[in-house]
Amino acid sequence: MWCDNCLLVLPLVLLKRGGAIAWGVVLAAYSLAGGLFLLIDGQYLFFFYPEWQIYGGIGVGVCALSVIGIFALSNRSYIWTRVCKFLWPFIIVICGIRAILMIVELQRGKDKIIWECNNGGQVWSDDATTTATTTDSSTTFPAGFCAAGFSSINAAFIVSLLVDLVFQYPPSPSSPNFSSMNLNPSASPMSFHPISMPNVQPEYGYAPTAFTSPSRPYTPADGASISPPMLSYSLSNPGDASSDEHSTHTRTPPPSVPYAATVPRSHRYNPIAAPPTRVSARAAVARGRRNSTSNSKSQNEDSDDEDAPVSSGGVDQRREAVRRQRIESEQKRRDDLRDGYSRLKSTLPSINQKSSKIVLLERAASHIKYLDAVKNRLEAQLKVAEDEVNRLRNVNEVLMIGTANQRLHAVANSGMQVQSSF
């Protein structure tokens, strides 16, 4: 129960499936027992809440992962086996850290554990006089631990950890022993005895046949394109049908398809290129007949016959031009959108995180609303300032008029005094 993380690092793949399942059962059993002990009675050994619950939870987690490994090996599940193999190193590291912390905390709580044993197995509290409020009065510290003494418990704990470290060292897989197979390693491969196989008569016989090239190469129909599989087969001779009728017991396989590298580059199928334009065989025959009748008619008819491929070539050229124009317009539209997004991103306040175009548009809308609010606030402030300026202007005019009236009265009074003196 002290070493519930023992024997974790031994890879289960080095064992057989049945042994690995049994190993997982043992691992799950003592991990569950240690985890439950720490969850129930861990408060008597560790005194920082919720320290013992964390230790017990790790033990229960090891048990759960062991159960997953058991079911994965039982069902031969590749995915869950890989999940367990991926999680085991992390579990080992966590269990190692937990073991170190448990040793340190056990040494620090030595006096508290002795106090618990001396006071009837009650939980140690801060004032060392009363029982903690979180404990149940019906449970006490196990008497077996108090009878053994702290030194025995500590020694057993350290020995368990040493055994844990020894068992965590993975054994290297041994090389296969070929001595029991009566094989000579220095012998050459040709010196081995052949294996006798029963003579089994096949149901169908196979007779290789030499294929010759046809007398006339294959010419596709008008406007048809040649695909690579069509280039790899040759036409059969006229006598092949008769030979098939006479041969009843043999089957000749079709010619093997050559690799694409054996086909000339000029004969490979190009799905992007425009279909080739060629003069049909009928037009050539008609042109030959017309040449035999008269040279003048042949020249006129030749010009008429050549108008057809030229016109079809013109249609293909127009289609290609329209397609290129559409591609260029679409590319230009995308470039304009990209430039617009770049200008919009440079105009908005910069942020440290990378955002998509949708987020950029949302930021632009929010920024526009913010600018509208700022504009309305500035317009309101401007209106208030204009009203204040008008009020001050009116006050200034009133003061100036009053000052001018006072000066006029003063001048009139001084004139009247001068006249009265005379």
pLDDT in tens, 69-91: 899 988 989 899 899 888 888 88
| Between 49 and 419, residue with greater pLDDT | 49
Under a CB-based contact definition with an 8 Å cutoff, are residues 15 and 23 in contact?
A: yes
Question: Above 50 in pLDDT, residue 100?
Answer: yes
pLDDT at 280: 55
Q: What pLDDT score was predicted for residue 233?
A: 44
Inside any domain, residue 26: yes
At 164 the pLDDT is: 54
Q: What is the pLDDT of residues 122-171, one digit of tens each?
A: 777 766 544 444 444 456 767 777 766 777 777 776 776 665 555 444 44
Q: pLDDT-based confidence at 220, cuts 50/70/90?
A: low
pLDDT value of residue 171: 41
Does 390 reside within a domain?
Answer: no
Domain-terminating residue out of 291, 319, 338: 338
Spatial separation of the C-alpha atoms in residues 167 and 92, rounded to whole Å: 12
Average pLDDT over residues 22-45: 82
CA distance 325 to 333: 12
User: What percent of the chain has a predicted confidence (pLDDT) above 70?
Assistant: 54
Asked whether residue 239 is domain-assigned, the answer is no
pLDDT for position 129: 47
66 alpha-carbon distance from chain centroid: 28
- Residue 333 — very low, low, confident or very high, per pLDDT cuts 50/70/90? very high
Q: Looking at residues 217-233, what average pLDDT do you find?
A: 48
pLDDT in tens, 167-188: 444 444 344 444 444 445 444 4
pTM above 0.75, yes or no: no
**Given this model, what pLDDT does residue 378 score?**
96
Range of the domain at 55: 12-133+140-167
Residue 196 identity: S
Mean pLDDT of 236-263: 47
What is the pLDDT at residue 416? 80
Looking at the fold, whether 159 and 21 belong to one and the same domain comes out as: yes
Closest CA to 92 of 20, 8, 162, 11: 8
- The answer, yes or no, to whether residue 394 has pLDDT greater than 90, is yes
**For residues 22-41, average pLDDT:** 82
pLDDT of 14 > 50? The answer is: no
Over residues 349-372, mean pLDDT: 87
| pLDDT given at position 69 | 87
Q: How many CA atoms lie within 13 A of 397 on its CB side?
A: 5
CA nearest neighbour of 211 among 175, 183, 178, 243: 243
Q: Judge whether 237 lies within some domain.
A: no
Where is the domain boundary, 299, 323, 338? Answer: 338
The verdict on residue 304 lying in a domain is: yes
Q: Is the pLDDT of residue 372 over 70?
A: yes
163 and 293 fall within a common domain: no
Mean pLDDT in the chain? 70
Side chain identity at residue 396, one-letter code: N
**DSSP structure class, residue 238:** T
Q: What's the structural domain count of the chain? A: 2
3-state secondary structure of 70: helix
Which of 89, 122, 127 has the alpha carbon at shortest distance from 9?
Answer: 89
Task: Give a yes or no: residue 354 inside a domain.
Answer: no
Asked if residue 56 belongs to a domain, the reply is yes
The pLDDT of residue 172: 40
* CA–CA distance, 287 with 301 (Å, rounded to integer): 7
Measured between alpha carbons, how far is 283 from 302 in angstroms, rounded to an integer? 9
Looking at the domain assignment, is residue 394 inside a domain? no
* Mean pLDDT of all residues in 309-336: 85
CA distance 47 to 105: 9
Q: Give 327-344 as a DSSP string.
A: HHHHHHHHHHHHHHHHHH
**Alpha-carbon distance 167 to 317, whole Å?**
79
Kindly indicate the confidence band of residue 298, based on its pLDDT and cuts at 50, 70 and 90: low
Of 199 and 145, the one with more pLDDT: 145
pLDDT recorded at residue 392:
95
Q: Are residues 153 and 298 in the same domain?
A: no
